[in-house]
Structure 1
């Protein structure tokens, strides 16, 4: 009776079996598959790092210095650690003027912009395709207008001597003489609010309109037949459906309105002569280029950047949650 000998597995030159060779090749393929996107993105990431990350690093380094005209002329750094941050956080101007102006204005501007944009979107959704296209094109002109141009237009409207707003109030007998609306903190930011909302609501309107066109008409018709009014249909059908859209426009509007600069700086008194209307972005600019305290201004810019990064993280997390859903 002959013995059957088990086949001896062949080996490669390196002493590996074919199975292990295949496993090694598969591992290398998986490694390359994971690394390939980063290899393709590397040139763009390097360029972005040079154009965006390096200036941020430079601003942070300046914020650690007592950097002024002398340091610019000599080119010698004068590091003082975190003294600029301590001075900023202990400055009464930050807590009594700058922070309330920045946060309060952003909150009111975001609410007003989103509310007005939503109302316009609801109006556009009820129009025919032709009129919807016409009206959408008209309101997008306001969004496409540069912030500088829009600011000068609103400045002219509320000008004390030649503004049409004062002229209208004089004709109606509501005021006895020209009023400078830019000297008062509340009227100043009311004008800035009009400027920002006028510039920002078209984006919200078009974005919400895109979501409204995807809401089931059958659900709205069924709710109307059941006796649900327009207000109830909005909060129980439209709003839950468009919750991801509203989260995006709210967070983006918060980022934009938190770092408003041109709309404040270009208004009369907004460049620093009226200290009661300063916000965080304008205060950083005034301290840097008005007082030649570039280190202190850089520290304020870093604080504003940290706040915006925090808002951006919330925005990204909200997007990731919506993707998971």
Structure 2
């Protein structure tokens, strides 16, 4: 009996000893898993706190302001809660649907399409140049990107100014217009045509350099194989270049879309763009005019929120497309 009990006790003791290393291993794995999950967030925490202070808090305040009727007074301000009245007025007004939103959307898509197309063409040209000319041309086009938007806008205003502008004089000499009576900035279409040229001129260098970086990663053997198969330059571009660096095109398109939807300086500084001509309003200018020119801060904030939501929707669509492309490549 004693022997039997001893054996049982010994076996139970040995089993408990065998279970302890397993428990310790499970605890270690849980700690490792917890560390793996929390360490990235701990490393990102300082940046996230700064971003929350610089971006999230102002967005919350703008959203809050859009629900109020805010009056500026000496020594402070007075806010009256109005709910969604500003959004209702904005969304039911003819100015938004007939002028502001079409100007914003069509102008942005025109700028994005032309910027990406011109930037890609320049990148293809740079990729075929030798090292010396590639460096010279890259520095030259980057000068357009480095130019401040204010300076570039005034240059284009001067070029198209009535009577004595270079393009006005050139068109007059060709019999296309009368330089003394034609003002490019009073009509909606020529106004945004000039603004589009301005934005594309300022934005295409970024696309060109980014696409060039993608082109340099494509193995030359792919193009040689395409030539052997009888593919011409146009076919090699669509069958080799585009599929290979499609993520690059998606990224530059996303960034160009965000930038061009919220264009403000190039429109506001042009003659009539600061509020004198409502036909050329876009969402950015409309928000500014409502808030600071008319002192209707709630309406201006509502327009700003609408623009933000529009940009978020477009960005989400592009990012989902980018992720889907990445999954297909895997």
Structure 2 partner of 1:20: 23
> In structure 2, the residue corresponding to 1:77 is in which secondary structure?
strand
Structure 1 partner of 2:139: 137
1:248 aligns with 2:251: yes
Structure 1 partner of 2:111: 109
Q: Where do residues 114-263 of structure 1 align in structure 2 (5 Å cutoff)?
A: 114-178=116-180, 179-263=182-266
> In structure 2, the residue corresponding to 1:100 is in which secondary structure?
helix
Find the aligned partners of 1:49 and 1:134 in 2 and give their Cα distance.
41
Structure 1 partner of 2:281: 278
Q: Where do residues 72-87 of structure 1 align in structure 2 (5 Å cutoff)?
A: 75-87=77-89
Match of 1:264 among 252, 264, 267: 267
Structure 1: gaps spanning 5 or more residues = none
Distance 1:239 1:10, change over 3 A: closer
Find the aligned partners of 2:77 and 2:185 in 1 and give their Cα distance.
40
1:303 Cα deviation from its structure 2 partner: 0.5
Distance 1:173 1:77, change over 3 A: closer
Find the aligned partners of 2:301 and 2:254 in 1 and give their Cα distance.
25
Structure 1 partner of 2:94: 92
Per-residue CA deviations over 1:17-49 (Å, capped at 9, x if unaligned) read: 343234223322321231122122222211221
1:308 aligns with 2:311: yes
Per-residue CA deviations over 1:91-146 (Å, capped at 9, x if unaligned) read: 10000001110111111111111111111111111111211111111101111111
User: What's the TM-score, normalizing by structure 2?
Assistant: 0.90
Find the aligned partners of 1:39 and 1:239 in 2 and give their Cα distance.
39
Per-residue CA deviations over 1:250-305 (Å, capped at 9, x if unaligned) read: 12111111111100000000011111100011000000001000000000000001
> In structure 2, the residue corresponding to 1:102 is in which secondary structure?
helix
More deviation, 285-294/248-257: 248-257
Structure 2: gaps spanning 5 or more residues = none
Cα contact 1:9–1:17 (8 A) shared by 2: no
> In structure 2, the residue corresponding to 1:68 is in which secondary structure?
strand
Find the aligned partners of 2:77 and 2:57 in 1 and give their Cα distance.
19
Distance 1:11 1:176, change over 3 A: same
More deviation, 259-268/173-182: 173-182
Find the aligned partners of 2:192 and 2:39 in 1 and give their Cα distance.
50
RMSD: 2.2
Distance 1:32 1:219, change over 3 A: closer
> In structure 2, the residue corresponding to 1:248 is in which secondary structure?
helix
Cα contact 2:104–2:282 (8 A) shared by 1: yes
Find the aligned partners of 2:186 and 2:326 in 1 and give their Cα distance.
47
1:52 Cα deviation from its structure 2 partner: 1.3
